[in-house]
Structure formats: structure tokens, C-alpha cells
Chain A
Amino acid sequence: MVKLAGALLVMAAGTLIGFAQAARYAARPRQIRELIHALKRLETEISYGQTPLPEALARVGGALAEPLRRMFLRAAARMAERRETTAEACWTEAVETVWPDTAMRAGDKEALLRLGASLGLSDRADQLKHVRLAMVHLEAEETAAREEQRKYEKMCRSLGVLGAALVVILMV
């Protein structure tokens, strides 16, 4: 009886781990896509609205889902505070803080940080170039992420279940 309960627990845990891992593979391309949409909106705010960065980021962030929403709003709040010295510092801080909660990888982060380094520091045409560059970079990452998702999502799920089954068999 106790053995059965233990086996069930191991099975459940293994399956959950597998599904969680698979969910990360599924979430990454989705978040990258959302980030690209967000940058597109930022592009519009910069080129047509000429909205100052704190407001632009807040406006873009308001329309996003968590955790990206938190990242944009945090950067906007820090810039509006006028305590932090540069836009880059505010942006980097926000990205670093929220990053562990996202499913994205180092390559995606690098694109964002590089964008942050030039954010607000040049005229409109140049800003748009930087935003577009980050978008292109993210699009490439997105393709890779989708490929990974296709390859590994199902595998993770089955691996979780099968791994758990193996442990149960060994224990019996």
C-alpha cells in the first residue's frame, strides 16, 4: 500500500517535471514573439508619438502579459523617478531583475541589453535602427526557439513520464 502510494508520487513528480520543462520550450518562442511586438510598439511611440522614454515604455508595457509587462513597467518607473543616472542603467536593472522569471535564454537577453545601451541616446532615425536591429536579432532567436520547441517539447514530456516509470520499476 505504502509502496503503491510512493510509486504514484514518483510518477506524478516525474510527469510534472517533464511537463514543466516542455512548457518552458513552448513559452520561449511565445515570449520572444511578444517581445518583438512590444518593440514594434516602442518603435511607433518613438517615431510618430515622439513620446519620452519613461512614458513610452510604460505605455508599451501596459499592453503586455507577465513577466514582460513587469520588465517594461519597472524600467519606465525607474526612469521616471529621475534617481538613476542613465536610461541604460534603468533598463539593465529591469531586465536583470525580471529575467529569471522568463523562459528566454542568454542570446535573447543580450539583444535586449544591447538595445538598452543605445536607448534614448540619439535622434529618431538612429533609435529606430537600433530597435529594428534588436527585432531582427530576436526574430532569429525565435526561429531557433521554435525549432527547439518542435524537437524537444514532446520529448521532454515523454521523458518525464518514462523516467518516472523507470525509477518506479527499479524501486519495486
Chain B
Amino acid sequence: MRLAQLYEWLPEALCGVLDRLPGPVKEQMEEIRVRQDRPLEVVYGAESSFVTPEGAVTDDPTSAWRPDRGLCRALLERITRHSLYAVEEELRSGFITVSGGHRIGMAGRVVLENGSVRRLRDIAGFNVRIARERIGCSAPVMPAIVDPAARTIRHTLIVSPPQQGKTTLLRDIVRAVSAGDWRHPAAAGWRGRKVGVVDERSEIAACENGVPTFDLGPRCDVLDACPKAEGMMMLIRSMSPEVIAVDEIGRPEDAAALREALHAGVRVVATAHASGIDDVLSRPVLRELVAEGLFRVYVILSRTGGRVTHRVVTAEEALCGRPGRQAVRSGAAPRDAPLVPAARPAAGSGVRVPLAEADAVRQIPARGGKHG
């Protein structure tokens, strides 16, 4: 269904070639890479191939179909709805999100103004990333990130390199939390939590006219196309969320907003580009957040042979044996959390958070990093 939606945005010649692709490729297709005068490439499962004009996949670039200038221009006109002037902001950031949540990245010549990027021109490379909805993909992760004491989820950071399914997982966690699909033995009978989503790239919810087209559960509010830091503050002020979800944090202002959310008693689920805890620790902003112990759980995604595997690392394990370790505190509990102080996770004591991790799928721990 979503693929059909995507086809509406592509020129007919391209649709024709894609339509002739073998069924399994079409089903698993993740990226369509259109480069002017160069072979058309599709990425599916763990593989990537060129596509011949007949729609067969091949590894030989010379026999592949090559989109020409006219096709690239038609593609650009369609995804911008014939109105480049209306997507100036998107052209500055280099991608456009079309209905269905599919993100189309662009590369071309950059026009500068006063030294900063003003927009793209001569766009000759497109990367169509197909959004997939995998309802239930958060099921194995949920038990590990549920906070039984506070009856909500812990502050969670989802970490992986690009294209491993961060956003897909985040989306399903949002759905699970807002629908009350906790997947935890202690959570039977809990209701869902109000979730606020700051969807800067319109990828999490894929809103159309403000209404999410992905299933995000019944208790979800989305700030579409809003800068993350500002959006988090807006949500806290206006929508009284209990959990906030944001994609791809990493800038200093994001960190400030995350701290603010923490003090407002809101749980945060975020994602970040990194290949592991060591990478997280080498990114200045994220390192600070880890050192402060803001995130209680890290979910690290990796993909082998088309299957996404994940491991869960707790804050204590992430910090274990690292310089700059400090007292770790847990976020304020929601106001309806049971008042049993003993049941709260023992903050900063180095004691691992009980219960939840026991049944989590884990490989752990991330100490003694791979990178040195």
C-alpha cells in the first residue's frame, strides 16, 4: 500500500522499470537510488543491485538502465509538487519527505550564501528511502526498557549506524507505549502513556495534514516538521506528554532540551547515529548525556544478513570503568507512579536495575570498547 503511494511520486518511466522487478526484491526494497546518467540501483534486504531496463537485477553496471536528465527533472518536479520555492527549507537540509513517510534524499550542487548552505541546485542524485511499518518489532525490546516501578519506560537511546531500522523501532516503541502494549509480566493491566513525538523529518509519523499515517497508537501527539529542541519544549508546555520520542539527536540544543524534559518528569526515547556505545561516547554531546546518566537504557541495533538484532545496555554498564563517571539519577516518576521508594531503581549505586533486564535479549556488556 505504501509502495503504491510512493509510485505516485515517481515518473512513469521509473515506475515501469521498478514494476518489472522480481517480487521478492520489490517486497524487501529499502532504497531506490536514482543517479542521472548512471545505473539505477536498488537496495533490498542486505544486498544492492543495479536494475536493467527489463527489470532484472544485475551486478553489471554497464547493462543497467540509466535515468536521463529529463527523468531526474521530472522526478524533482514531482516530489516538490512543481514548486521548488515551497520546499526551500527542505532543499537546504537535503531531503524531502513525501506522503507515506518515504524520505527522498538529494545530492547536487550546493548554493552558498554568506558561507552557509542556501539550497541545492542541479540535483542529479536521489535516494528514495522506503518507509516500512513493522508493527510489533519493538516486542523483544519492550521488556528491557519498561520501568516497572514507575509504570512507564526508562529514558532510552536507540543507537545504530544508518539504515538499520532505528526509526522503525522508535515508531513501534511509540505505538507500544501509547497503546499500552508493554510486553512485560509486571505490566499487565497498565494503560498506555501519552506520547509526544517531535517529528522533525516527518519520518516517524509521516503526517498528512497533521494526521499520522503510521499507526502510533491512540495516545500520541505529533509535532510535525518541528525542530527537535524547540519541539520538545513546545510539547512539554502544551501537550503534557508522559513520554517524548525524538529522532536523531546530537546537537547541543537537543541535549539542553532533553535535560529540560528530564526535569519536567517526562520520559524520553531518542535515536542517534553511532555503531555502538564507544561511538556514542566519542560524540561530544552524546558523551555528556551518557556521563550525566540521562539515558537509563541503550538499545544497540545491528543487522546481519537482513535480520535486525539488538542488544540492550544499561546506563551503569555503559559507564562502567569509564572516566568521568558520575552519580546517575533516574528521572522523576510520573505522578501516578506508586509511592514505593524501595522499588525505585537504586540510582547511582552501581546496582543493576532489577527485573526487566533479566529476560531481555542481551549480549552485553560494552566495556573495553572495540575501538580502543
B118 to chain A, nearest CB (A): 8
Chain A residue numbers with a CB within 8 Å of B156 are: none
How far is it, in angstroms, between the C-alpha of A42 and the C-alpha of B85 when the chains are bound?
13
Q: Are A86 and B74 in contact (CB under 8 A)?
A: yes
How far is it, in angstroms, between the C-alpha of A130 and the C-alpha of B18 when the chains are bound?
37
How far is it, in angstroms, between the C-alpha of A53 and the C-alpha of B8 when the chains are bound?
17
How far is it, in angstroms, between the C-alpha of A83 and the C-alpha of B7 when the chains are bound?
11
Does A101 touch B at the CB level, under 8 Å? no
Chain B residue numbers with a CB within 8 Å of A52 are: 80-83, 86
In this complex, what residue of A is CB-closest to B12? A83
Q: Are A53 and B73 in contact (CB under 8 A)?
A: no
**Chain A proximity mask over B256-297: 1 for CB below 8 Å, otherwise 0:** 000000000000000000000000000000000000000000
Chain A residue numbers with a CB within 8 Å of B80 are: 52, 120
**Chain B proximity mask over A33-63: 1 for CB below 8 Å, otherwise 0:** 0000000000000100011111010000000
Does A127 touch B at the CB level, under 8 Å? yes
Q: Are B82 and A85 in contact (CB under 8 A)?
A: no
How far is it, in angstroms, between the C-alpha of A119 and the C-alpha of B86 when the chains are bound?
12
**Chain A proximity mask over B54-86: 1 for CB below 8 Å, otherwise 0:** 000000000000000010011001101111111
- Tell me the number of A-to-B contacts counted with CB atoms below 8 Å: 53
Q: Report if A123-B82 is in contact (Cβ < 8 Å); known contacts: A85-B74, A86-B77.
A: no
Which residue of A79, A83, A124, A126 contacts B82 across the interface (Cβ within 8 Å)? A79
Chain B residue numbers with a CB within 8 Å of A127 are: 85
Chain B residue numbers with a CB within 8 Å of A123 are: 84-85, 88, 119
Q: Are A120 and B77 in contact (CB under 8 A)?
A: yes
Does A105 touch B at the CB level, under 8 Å? no
Q: Report if A53-B81 is in contact (Cβ < 8 Å); known contacts: A82-B8, A82-B9, A123-B88.
A: yes
Does B365 touch A at the CB level, under 8 Å? no
Identify whether the interface residues of B are mostly helix, strand, loop, or mixed.
helix
Chain A residue numbers with a CB within 8 Å of B78 are: 82
How far is it, in angstroms, between the C-alpha of A121 and the C-alpha of B291 when the chains are bound?
48
Does B334 touch A at the CB level, under 8 Å? no
Chain B residue numbers with a CB within 8 Å of A79 are: 81-82
Does B45 touch A at the CB level, under 8 Å? no
Does B94 touch A at the CB level, under 8 Å? no
B89 to chain A, nearest CB (A): 9
Q: Report if A87-B86 is in contact (Cβ < 8 Å); known contacts: A82-B8, A82-B9, A120-B77.
A: no
In this complex, what residue of A is CB-closest to B10? A82
Does B105 touch A at the CB level, under 8 Å? no
Q: Report if A119-B82 is in contact (Cβ < 8 Å); known contacts: A85-B74, A86-B73.
A: yes
8 A Cβ contacts from B1-51 to A: 8-9, 11-12
Which residue of B9, B81, B84 contacts A122 across the interface (Cβ within 8 Å)? B84
In this complex, what residue of B is CB-closest to A83? B12
Chain A residue numbers with a CB within 8 Å of B119 are: 123
Q: Are B82 and A54 in contact (CB under 8 A)?
A: yes
Q: Report if A120-B85 is in contact (Cβ < 8 Å); known contacts: A82-B78, A86-B77.
A: yes
**Chain B proximity mask over A98-125: 1 for CB below 8 Å, otherwise 0:** 0000000000000000000001111110
A104 to chain B, nearest CB (A): 24
Which residue of B12, B74, B81, B85 contacts A124 across the interface (Cβ within 8 Å)? B85
Q: Are B88 and A120 in contact (CB under 8 A)?
A: no
> Which of B82, B84, B88 has the most A CB atoms < 10 Å from its CB?
B82
A-B contact pairs, 16 of them (CB 8 A): A46-B85, A51-B83, A51-B86, A52-B81, A52-B86, A54-B81, A79-B82, A83-B12, A85-B11, A85-B77, A120-B83, A122-B84, A123-B85, A123-B119, A124-B85, A124-B88
| In the complex, the 8 A-B pairs of residues with the closest C-beta atoms, listed nearest first | A87-B82, A52-B81, A52-B83, A120-B82, A124-B85, A53-B82, A53-B83, A85-B74
